[in-house]
């Protein structure tokens, strides 16, 4: 499925300055639309520091004149917008960490995608879930049924899920694997929108050549 927006693109798209907030918003959208957990965006730490500094400035100027109060109100509104994006980005990641905690725990490569705090949360969450399941039901079960790490019991991301993506640069002809084992050649042109299997565009997403919608 494809929608061509090439004729609607503007000439200054590539030169437009992109703020940290917009970059984080794009990361949030990619995270929400991806069936897999994506690498942690370190912009979160930078924005949290900026919010803390801005809060101190607002607090210092709260007793100033009317103009300062108006400026503080505008700054507070912008801060609330940034906090909304931050909360939802982190909440989306925590949902995936909880859902795939057992899978992440047994795949060290996924640890590289998480922040230090997310790794601690994942390990602690898995320990709590395992302890709860053991105490509530598995404690009285036969020993051979007490293993929670059987491959068929571990929930993992489904990378064959279809996703919508927008191509950010011309990528040429790409071979896409079909559901019946067949392959299909798709020409990925800049600003075109496709619905493809996530696995087919996963590497392009990591390289920033496509974005999810």
pLDDT for residue 14 is more than 70: no
CA distance 96 to 101: 8
CA distance 167 to 104: 29
Contacts of 130 (CB under 8 A, 6+ apart): 148
DSSP secondary structure code for residue 38 in this structure? P
CA distance 189 to 198: 17
Domain boundaries for CATH 3.40.5.60 within the chain: 158-212
Domain boundaries for CATH 1.20.58.1030 within the chain: 20-157
Q: What is the mean pLDDT of residues 9-24?
A: 61
Are 91 and 121 contacting, i.e. CB atoms less than 8 angstroms apart? no
Q: What is the pLDDT of residue 162?
A: 94
34-84 pLDDT tens trace? 999 999 999 999 999 999 999 998 888 877 788 888 888 999 999 999 999
Pick the CATH number of 158-212 from 3.30.365.10, 3.40.5.60, 3.30.1490.20, 3.40.50.2300: 3.40.5.60
Fold that domain 20-157 belongs to in CATH: Methane Monooxygenase Hydroxylase; Chain G, domain 1 (1.20.58)
76-117 pLDDT tens trace? 999 999 999 999 999 999 999 999 999 999 998 999 999 999
154-211 pLDDT tens trace? 999 999 999 999 999 999 999 888 767 788 899 999 999 999 999 999 999 999 999 9
CA distance 22 to 89: 12
131-151 pLDDT tens trace? 998 898 888 888 777 788 888
Q: Lowest-confidence range among 9-13, 25-29, 46-50? A: 9-13
């Amino acid at each position: 499925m494809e929608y061509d927006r090439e004729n609607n693109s503007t000439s200054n798209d590539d030169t437009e300055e992109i703020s940290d907030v917009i970059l984080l918003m794009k990361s949030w959208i990619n995270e929400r639309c991806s069936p897999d957990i994506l690498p942690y965006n370190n912009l979160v730490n930078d924005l949290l520091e900026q919010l803390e500094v801005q809060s101190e400035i607002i607090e210092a100027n709260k007793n100033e004149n009317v103009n300062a109060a108006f400026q503080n109100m505008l700054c507070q509104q912008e801060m609330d917008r940034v906090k909304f994006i931050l909360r939802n980005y982190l909440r989306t990641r925590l949902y995936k960490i909880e859902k795939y905690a057992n899978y992440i725990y047994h795949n060290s490569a996924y640890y590289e995608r998480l922040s230090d705090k997310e790794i601690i949360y994942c390990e602690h969450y898995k320990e709590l879930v395992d302890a709860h399941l053991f105490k509530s039901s598995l404690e009285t079960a036969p020993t051979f049924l007490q293993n929670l790490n059987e491959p068929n019991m571990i929930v993992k991301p489904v990378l064959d899920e279809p996703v919508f993506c927008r191509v950010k640069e011309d990528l040429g002809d790409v071979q896409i694997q079909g559901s019946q084992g067949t392959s299909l050649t798709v020409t990925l042109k800049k600003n075109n929108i496709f619905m493809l299997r996530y696995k087919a565009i996963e590497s392009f997403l990591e390289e920033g050549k496509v974005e999810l919608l």
